[in-house]
Amino acid sequence: MEELQLRQVLEFALALAMVVVAAADQLQTLPGCTSTCGGIEIPYPFGVGNSSNQPQQPCYLEPNFELVCNNTNSNLLWGNITVLSINVTTHQMDASFWVARFCNDSNDNNPWMLTGTFSISRTENKFRTVGCNGLGYLTGSYDNDKFATGCATQCDGEEFKFDNGKCSGVGCCQVDIPPRMRNINISAFNIGSNFTHHWGNCSYSFVAKQDSYEFSSAHLQSFPDETLPLVLDWTVGERNCSSGEHACKEHSHCNDTDTDIGYRCTCDHGYQGNPYLGCTDVDECKTDKHTCISEQHCRNTDGSYICVCPKGQSGNATEGEGCYHKNAVTKVVIGVATGIVTLFVGTVSLYLIYQKRKLNKLREKYFKQNGGSILLQQLSTRENSSQMTQIFTEEQLKKATNNFDESLIIGSGGFGTVFKGFLENNRIVAIKKSKIVDESQKEQFINEVIVLSQINHRNVVKLLGCCLEREVPLLVYEFVENGTVFDFLHTQKKVNSETWKTRMRIAAEAAGALSYLHSAASVPIIHRDVKTANILLDNTYTAKVSDFGASRLVPLDQTEIATMVQGTFGYLDPEYLRTSQLTEKSDVYSFGVVLLELLTGEKPHSFGRPEEKKSLSNHFLSCLKEDRLFDILQVGMVNEENEKEIIEVAILAARCLRLNGEERPSMKEVATELDAIRQSENHPWIHRDQNLEETQHLLHESSSIIYERGEDSCSHHNTGYDSIRDRILIALDNGR
């Protein structure tokens, strides 16, 4: 009788403990705090108001996590943003945010959000712009850092085919969200004087979850949404885990491996719940998270579990093994075990053979899919082609990069990721993992590989070969070890006469390389992304033009080609942006901006500068018009020896920046003039009779030719530039 009562007491205690654990599993808020609002759960560290149990105790961890429950419409608000859901496991918050709208040359809506330490999730969101001739900007800032991204669409004409369901660039464009984007502002604009009303007169820009919006051409005339959901990544505080001060409770740990500010709390393995209130043990035996034969063979432990055989049996209680009675015949067990081992070895051997054959067939498939057959055919028709282009195997490049170890990444961009590699002959190379090649473009891709591999110019990065055995082709280039001209100008910050000589040499070498690509290559090549970040420097500071991911081959019977506008903001040719007609003069304009960087030491565009100085090219040309060139040159660079050379380079840069491409010099003329200036530097007696006053007269004459009407950013007058700049550049300024 006593034994029965004792058993009942134990069963009651066990049931009570299970109820307590279950209650702990559901604990998501502090005692006395609101747990839901409008059907949305409010997990701690977020909270609404103070605890009803302790009026002085906030329901949230820190002010950035304070929420408001609007009792009128049951909306849960974070500031002025409506919250849709909060997840303490992924540390993300879904919120509803407004769509920027621009109609009839006026801003209908220009939404902004102060996020604090929260950031816009780059993995869950996309920035999109919808409209014909629409331009959208997403700007963000944190502390003193400001940065932006955006995209533009253009669809002239009365009839146009749109790709409904996809944001492919016509009527709808999209870009990735930059990392650590905080305190955002969204702007939408209309661009171009030939804006068509056939497809509506509005542009819309917004940040939204990747699967929350589907484009339709009907949206060009009537956009259906005023708000769309976006995802915020959140962290706690402004200190990292090493400070030793964090809010992580029992059975959880502090994690800051992928955060730039603050930290996150995560439940330990084998535990679940809210790590900011304390995690509880997961009973793996009651879930599918165990490997035991059945639930009856499973015993839960703190943070884990064990598999046991029933009383009177022995063996392994995990799946695939099993329990058996202790008096089972040993020989039978040994025989069965031997048979299983033999069968296993045979099966594994056959499987490995099958996998090897499957892998070889897959590599053959990718080789043909990426145009390998076309490449071999073209190589067979060329003399010594094997010396120009080497076809690498996937195993060779895996070995060279330690299976593409992330620690060997030396660069990444919109066209691929670049790894540092070590070939078997100890040669160091740069291996570029490009994006997937479109099936319809594979012949052009192979033609570009053939042409680029034949370029043999000391100031162009040499293409050594490629690997086509992968779904994503790999390109192998020579390795240039001393960084980029961008790093040289904006990181090292060296200014002296020797640095000016180096800058002149870099400019002349880069110009010579581009001239070679335009006029001396077997098929003319337009680089299309000329900038200081794409000019590498070797250990002797010799310039090497690189990154042909955006390049286009120009047929010998054509002077211009129509393309989707690509390039880097600040370097982009306004005429190319307006007409989508790519010419060699587009590279000339971009090189003119490179010359400005070498002269001024400033970046081509900066949101941190005053409005009239944000665009380096506009500011430079304004100062040039006012004969105030030396106000914009880098301080400490000009001296009596190089003053005349700097003025001549400034005049050349201004000619490169002319809005009408036909009025710009060719790259061959630019390279010739830079060489002449350098010769004058090395042999000053060549132009000894021409004094500085004559050069300054040329400077004034050049600026007068460039400016029919100018924007005086040096003296802060607003007169416009010309009809094209009034229409495009002023719009860009408003977009910031």
Query: Which tens digits make up the pLDDT trace of 332-390?
Result: 778 788 889 988 998 888 888 877 787 777 777 777 766 666 677 666 665 554 456 78
- 175 pLDDT exceeds 70? yes
Dihedral over Cα of 488, 494, 500, 502: its sign: negative
Question: How large is the average pLDDT for residues 712-731?
Answer: 36
Task: Evaluate whether residue 88 is within a structural domain.
Answer: no
Phi, psi of 352, deg, nearest 5: -65, -40
CATH number of the domain that 543 lies in?
1.10.510.10
Q: Name the average pLDDT for the chain.
A: 80
Tell me whether residue 87 is in a domain.
Answer: no
Q: Do 535 and 647 share a structural domain? A: yes
Residue 125 lies in a domain: yes
pLDDT band at 714 (very low <50, low <70, confident <90, very high): low
Provide mean pLDDT across the span 104-117. Answer: 82
Instruction: Report which of 138, 199, 202 is spatially closest to residue 174, judged by C-alpha positions.
Output: 138
Q: Is 433 annotated as a binding residue?
A: yes
Which residue numbers are catalytic? 529
The runs of H, that is alpha helices, within 291-370 are 330-369
Asked whether residue 543 is assigned to any structural domain, the reply reads yes
Instruction: Specify if 277 maps to a domain.
Output: yes
Cβ neighbors of 5 (< 8 A, separation 6 or more) are none
The verdict on whether omega for the bond into residue 179 sits within 30 degrees of 0, i.e. cis, is: no
Looking at the structure, do residues 172 and 311 belong to the same domain, yes or no? no
609 and 495 fall within a common domain? yes
Please tell me the total count of domains within the chain: 5
Closest CA to 120 of 149, 152, 80: 149
- Greater confidence (392 vs 684) lies with 392
* Lowest mean pLDDT across 77-91, 137-151, 546-560: 546-560
Residue 224 and residue 108 share a domain: yes
User: What CATH number did the domain enclosing 456 receive?
Assistant: 3.30.200.20
In whole angstroms, what is the distance from residue 736 CA to residue 610 CA? 12
Q: What is the pLDDT of residue 730?
A: 28
Q: What is the mean pLDDT of residues 454-464?
A: 86
pLDDT confidence bin for 309, thresholds 50/70/90:
confident
pLDDT tens-digit readout, 273-304: 999 999 999 998 888 788 888 888 888 988 88
pLDDT number for residue 512: 95
Determine, yes or no, domain membership for 129: yes
- Does 501 share its domain with 602? yes
532 occurs within a structural domain? yes
In a domain, 359, yes or no: no
Q: Do 153 and 170 share a domain, yes or no?
A: yes
Tell me: do 528 and 473 sit in the same domain.
no
pLDDT mean over 476-502: 80
Please indicate, yes or no, whether residues 464 and 542 belong to a single structural domain of this protein.
Answer: no
Is 69 a residue whose pLDDT tops 90? yes
Closest CA to 710 of 594, 631, 624, 629: 624
Structural domain of 600: 485-555+566-734
Average pLDDT over residues 494-521: 84
Q: Is the entire prediction scored with pTM above 0.75? A: no
At residue 280, the pLDDT reads: 92
**Start-to-end CA span in the chain (Å):** 84
pLDDT, tens digit, for every residue of 195-253? Answer: 555 777 889 999 999 999 999 988 988 899 999 999 999 999 988 998 888 999 999 99
**pLDDT for res 483:** 86
Q: What is the pLDDT of residue 172?
A: 92
User: Of the residues 167, 199, 233, which one is the last residue of a structural domain?
Assistant: 233
Last residue in a domain, options 447, 478, 509: 478
Contacts of 381 (CB under 8 A, 6+ apart): none
**Residue where a domain terminates, one of 170, 205, 233:** 233
Among residues 704, 586, 600, which one has the least CA distance to residue 649?
600
Q: If you count DSSP H runs as helices and E runs as strands, how many of each does the chain have, helices first?
A: 15, 38
Tell me, yes or no, whether 592 and 634 share the same domain.
Answer: yes
* Residue-level length of the chain: 736
In this structure, the answer to whether residues 729 and 644 fall within a common structural domain is yes
Residues 670 and 713 both lie in one domain: yes
Return the percentage of the chain with pLDDT > 90, whole number.
39
Same domain, 540 and 464: no
Amino acid, res. 625: K
Q: What is the dihedral of CA 217, 219, 220, 223, to 10 degrees?
A: 180
Is 323 in contact with 297 (CB distance < 8 Å)? yes
